[in-house]
Structure 1
Amino acid sequence: MTSLSLPARRTATATIAALVAGFTLCTSSIASSAEQRTDHRRPGAARIVGSGDFVLPYLSDNDVRSFSFDAVAAPYSIPRPKIPTGLPVDARGTVRISHHSADQNVTYTSEGQVECLVTGPNMATVTALITKVSHEETGSLGKRVGLSVYDGGKGGKADRVGFSWNGVNLLPNSEDAEVGTCMAPAPYAPVVKGGYTVTHAELAPLPRP
């Protein structure tokens, strides 16, 4: 093995140190750029907003039915028995429901507090606890309802909604079944006025212990 003189060894050592410093700086820059790209691409919270009138495909009448949504995901924000951390589907916001009966010339309204939201591309499922009603005889106060939305694109012409009452959530004895969190049927009713915007986001990871 050829030995280096003292000056040569110093030069070689300086060169290696410079290379290590440069490599470290380059690696740091790459990591920083990667972090910036990751932050830039990080999805926002799942959300659904909008208001629309819809019709029932199996019924022809002059009633006016509508839903309004202003809901956003709030993961792990609602502690539950045996689940103190809450769930990744926790959400907050408001759902407003309106049904004008043409035969009775009466408009029934209710308002619910959103508790759960799950989205997929162009779709959302929401459940809410009814906190206000215009007519107590409807029996919906305090109940959980499930609603679904399909965002068909700009203008709302292809939007659709679904909901957990009116014969789609029955037990074998024809009584209404209890609705679970984020449970609703597929959006089967076409929107004829207004529309909705669904912002999809993946469910948040489990909180660290």
Structure 2
Amino acid sequence: MASLSLSARRTATATVAALVAGLTLCASSIASSAEQRTDHRRPGAARIVGSGDFVLPYLNDNDVRSFSFDAVAAPYSTPRPGLPTGLPVDARGTVRISHHSADQNVTYTFDGQVECLVTGPNTATVTALITKVSHEETGLLGKRVGLSVHDGGKGGKADRVGFSWNGVNLLPNGEDAEVGTCMAPAPYAPVVRGGYTVTHAELAPFPRP
């Protein structure tokens, strides 16, 4: 095989160097994109899913109480008075509340539309507007309720929940106080069956004008 001329060798060397530089730049760009996708500090989709039965630590009864969640963050999706862009805590999804009274042998159910979701590591706070009830005399139809969840890890054995009624959100006169968006007490009730998965994401920054 004939040897390359000096000019041809220089051209080939320059071409190989350009290819190497291009591949290095491409690899660096891919790595940077991967880091951005996996960086938990970047805005993303916070979520809570799962279903579980829980007990109240201050009551010893045979009632069965449970919450089911399927909620995901939808930042800046719900315009509000004075805030046409919506809020970073806007969310969508559903929550179902169930309470079987052993004494009455009646099961009360409540379906809610999620409007707000805030998460921290292993923790979520949700508010929902109750859109459907099994018993209207409960007075919760159309009300906002607040719920909290602690994701204690795989298996749900260390999970806990909290909620804004049943005497934990009262005015000085003893009446129930109104619940604000994403407001709920700490998760104080241990889950005894089932469990929840909380996916944490930082709140997204306000949109640029």
**Deviation for aligned residue 1:31:** 9.2
Q: Distance between the aligned counterparts of 1:24 and 1:158, measured in 2?
A: 47
Greater Cα shift, 164-173 or 22-31: 22-31
| Change beyond 3 A, Cα 1:2–1:40 | farther
| Change beyond 3 A, Cα 1:173–1:24 | same
**Deviation for aligned residue 1:44:** 3.8
- SS at 2:40's partner residue? helix
Q: Which runs of 5+ in 2 are unaligned?
A: none
Q: Distance between the aligned counterparts of 1:118 and 1:21, measured in 2?
A: 44
Contact 2:46–2:73 (CA under 8 A) maintained in structure 1: yes
**Deviation for aligned residue 1:86:** 0.3
Q: Residue 37 of structure 1 aligns with which residue?
A: 37
Q: Distance between the aligned counterparts of 1:40 and 1:187, measured in 2?
A: 24
**Deviation for aligned residue 1:129:** 0.2
**Deviation for aligned residue 1:42:** 5.2
| Change beyond 3 A, Cα 1:173–1:122 | same
| Change beyond 3 A, Cα 1:6–1:208 | same
| Change beyond 3 A, Cα 1:203–1:41 | closer
**Deviation for aligned residue 1:22:** 8.6
TM-score normalized with structure 2 length: 0.83
| Change beyond 3 A, Cα 1:27–1:194 | closer
Greater Cα shift, 11-20 or 88-97: 11-20
| Change beyond 3 A, Cα 1:16–1:61 | closer
| Change beyond 3 A, Cα 1:79–1:16 | same
**Deviation for aligned residue 1:38:** 6.9
| Change beyond 3 A, Cα 1:2–1:186 | same
| Change beyond 3 A, Cα 1:141–1:41 | closer
Greater Cα shift, 133-142 or 25-34: 25-34
| Change beyond 3 A, Cα 1:202–1:100 | same
Greater Cα shift, 24-33 or 190-199: 24-33
Q: Distance between the aligned counterparts of 1:40 and 1:64, measured in 2?
A: 36
Q: Residue 64 of structure 1 aligns with which residue?
A: 64
| Change beyond 3 A, Cα 1:5–1:61 | closer
Runs (4+) of structure 1 exceeding 4 A deviation are 1-43
**Deviation for aligned residue 1:208:** 1.1
| Change beyond 3 A, Cα 1:88–1:10 | same
Q: Tell me the number of residue pairs that the alignment of Structure 1 and Structure 2 aligns.
A: 209
- SS at 2:170's partner residue? coil
Matched, 1:193 2:204: no
Q: Distance between the aligned counterparts of 1:186 and 1:40, measured in 2?
A: 24
| Superposed CA offset, 1:146-173 (max 9, x none) | 0000000000000000000000000000
- SS at 2:19's partner residue? helix
| Superposed CA offset, 1:82-119 (max 9, x none) | 11100000000000000000000000000000000000
TM-score normalized with structure 1 length: 0.83
Q: Which runs of 5+ in 1 are unaligned?
A: none
| Change beyond 3 A, Cα 1:198–1:38 | closer
Greater Cα shift, 127-136 or 26-35: 26-35
Q: Distance between the aligned counterparts of 2:45 and 2:161, measured in 1?
A: 21
| Change beyond 3 A, Cα 1:207–1:9 | same
- SS at 2:94's partner residue? strand
Identity among equivalent positions (%) equals 92
**Deviation for aligned residue 1:3:** 36
Matched, 1:77 2:77: yes
